[in-house]
């Protein structure tokens, strides 16, 4: 089975979808699929260009990866990618497009439909109603692009791939005609089987044994940082030596607002800002944290939540993180509404109960190993691909008779 994956950028700063590609594609090769990746050289959301070698370096050598120059930093329009797709798309059994609102995935699905190749779209959370309530100019432009291009693709695709059932339910208001399926995101369990010893990240922060709350994600408006900072101010009233580590790159200048809230609540000495980290440093941050916090307003899966659980660190997440049901059901964390008071109470509950944190940590690792590893996910996706290709073949056969 030959599968073409198309994603607008493999820039690490673009968040979860790029991490998904880095894990999913090698797992699919191991599962016996012939996979190819097409992307652009733009470090979206900035206008810098990615080194093609760095993109190749994030994937297994067996994966053919094509990195094309993009002429427009915003829409990532690439004439070279367009020409390659037109020459090669009918050589694949299925096209799996990741994300919306950018030329590469939009054009790939549109061309696949025209050429009679089955196509799957993974929105990666882009269809959440919360995002539709935003009124920024960029969001309005997305709505226009969606109306002209992505909605016809979503209605006409062979299937839509959601990563959680909650994500599928949240997109129901669009009344999309395409069939859909749910297959989650995975982790490479070999990374988490043997975890580093506790202490190196704390030493970097210079905090010793102080209670540590970790946030690790982009500093972005949807992550609930406007809730987490005032919630942590309440935590400090009960745990005066507690520290909040905000780890992740600034996104569209939002970090300035976060620093303003930190100053407003007098937390300059209690909050540590750490820019982008990767590899062993990420694992060390999870291991050293007492609690991981992500009170997002919308989160289609929450890869960082799964990573924290895999490291044995309990989580406090909002009920807008779409894996909250699985986390709660496994007893691996506490779930709150998007409310600063509730977030503060949940954090205080766990910071004050080390035995409970240890029980939750063990439950989180078991949950990830049971449901969210790449070998499990790759097998599920292969089964969905086989169903879609067979359905597509049957439909063409029926039309031909």
Same domain, 222 and 364: yes
Same domain, 333 and 367: yes
Please write the tens of the pLDDT for every residue from 179-227: 999 999 999 999 999 999 999 999 999 999 999 999 999 899 999 999 9
Same domain, 40 and 104: yes
The proportion of the chain whose per-residue pLDDT surpasses 70, expressed as a percent, equals 95
Paired residues of 65 in beta bridges: 37
Query: Rounded to an integer, what distance in angstroms lies between the CA atom of residue 175 and that of residue 40?
Result: 31
Same domain, 170 and 241: no
Same domain, 25 and 144: yes
Enumerate the H helices of 221-353 as residue ranges.
Answer: 225-238, 254-264, 280-288, 303-310, 324-330, 340-351
Same domain, 41 and 152: yes
Which tokens hold the place of 143?
């709505």
Same domain, 74 and 122: yes
Residue 331's pLDDT band (cuts 50, 70, 90): very high
Query: Rounded to an integer, what distance in angstroms lies between the CA atom of residue 295 and that of residue 337?
Result: 8
Please write the tens of the pLDDT for every residue from 342-353: 999 999 999 999
Among 12, 155, 159, 145, CA closest to 97: 159
- Domain range spanning residue 274? 190-371
Q: Is the pLDDT of residue 5 over 60?
A: yes
Same domain, 97 and 133: yes
What distance separates the 2 farthest-apart alpha carbons in the chain?
75
Same domain, 389 and 338: no
Looking at the structure of the chain, the number of domains it has is 2
Per the model's pLDDT, the better-predicted residue between 76 and 203 turns out to be 203
Query: Rounded to an integer, what distance in angstroms lies between the CA atom of residue 205 and that of residue 382?
Result: 43
Q: Are 318 and 297 in contact (CB under 8 A)?
A: yes
Question: pTM for the whole thing?
Answer: 0.89
Same domain, 236 and 122: no
CATH code (residue 389): 3.40.50.2000
Same domain, 102 and 197: no
- Rounded to the nearest integer, the mean pLDDT of the chain is 92
Same domain, 199 and 294: yes
Q: Is 44 helix (H, G, I), strand (E, B) or coil?
A: coil
């Amino acid at each position: 089975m030959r599968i073409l994956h198309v994603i607008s950028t493999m820039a690490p700063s673009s968040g979860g979808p790029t991490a998904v590609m880095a894990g999913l594609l090698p797992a699919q090769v191991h599962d016996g699929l012939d996979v190819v990746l097409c992307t652009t050289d733009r470090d979206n959301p900035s206008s810098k260009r990615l080194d093609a070698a760095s993109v190749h370096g994030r994937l297994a050598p067996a994966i053919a990866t094509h990195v094309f120059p993009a002429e427009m930093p915003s829409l990532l329009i690439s004439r070279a990618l367009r020409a390659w797709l037109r020459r090669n798309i009918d050589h694949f059994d299925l096209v799996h497009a990741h994300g919306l609102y950018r030329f590469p995935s939009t054009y790939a699905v549109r061309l696949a439909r025209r050429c009679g190749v089955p196509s799957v779209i993974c929105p990666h959370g882009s269809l959440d109603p919360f995002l539709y309530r935003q009124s920024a100019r960029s969001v309005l432009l997305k709505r226009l692009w969606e109306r002209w291009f992505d909605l016809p693709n979503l209605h006409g695709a062979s299937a839509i791939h959601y990563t959680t059932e909650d994500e599928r339910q949240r997109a129901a208001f669009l009344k999309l005609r395409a069939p859909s399926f749910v297959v989650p995101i995975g982790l490479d369990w070999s990374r988490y089987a043997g975890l580093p010893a506790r202490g190196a990240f704390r030493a970097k922060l210079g905090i010793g044994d102080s209670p540590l709350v970790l946030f690790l994600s982009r500093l972005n408006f949807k992550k609930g940082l406007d809730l987490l900072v005032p919630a942590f101010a309440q935590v400090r009233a009960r745990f005066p030596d507690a520290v909040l580590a905000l780890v992740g790159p600034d996104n569209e200048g939002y970090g300035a607002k976060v620093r303003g809230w930190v100053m407003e609540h007098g937390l300059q000495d209690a909050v540590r800002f750490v820019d982008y980290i990767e590899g062993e440093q990420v694992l060390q941050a999870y291991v050293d944290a007492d609690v991981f916090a992500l009170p997002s307003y919308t989160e289609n899966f929450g890869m960082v939540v799964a990573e924290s659980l895999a490291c044995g660190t309990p989580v406090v997440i909002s009920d807008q993180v779409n894996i909250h049901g699985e986390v709660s059901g496994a007893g691996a964390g506490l779930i709150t509404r998007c409310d600063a008071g509730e977030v503060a109470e949940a954090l205080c509950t766990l910071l004050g109960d080390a035995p409970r944190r240890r029980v939750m940590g063990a439950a989180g690792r078991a949950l990830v190993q049971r449901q969210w590893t790449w070998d499990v996910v790759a097998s599920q996706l292969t089964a969905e691909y086989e169903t879609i290709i067979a359905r597509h073949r049957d439909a063409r056969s029926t039309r031909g008779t």
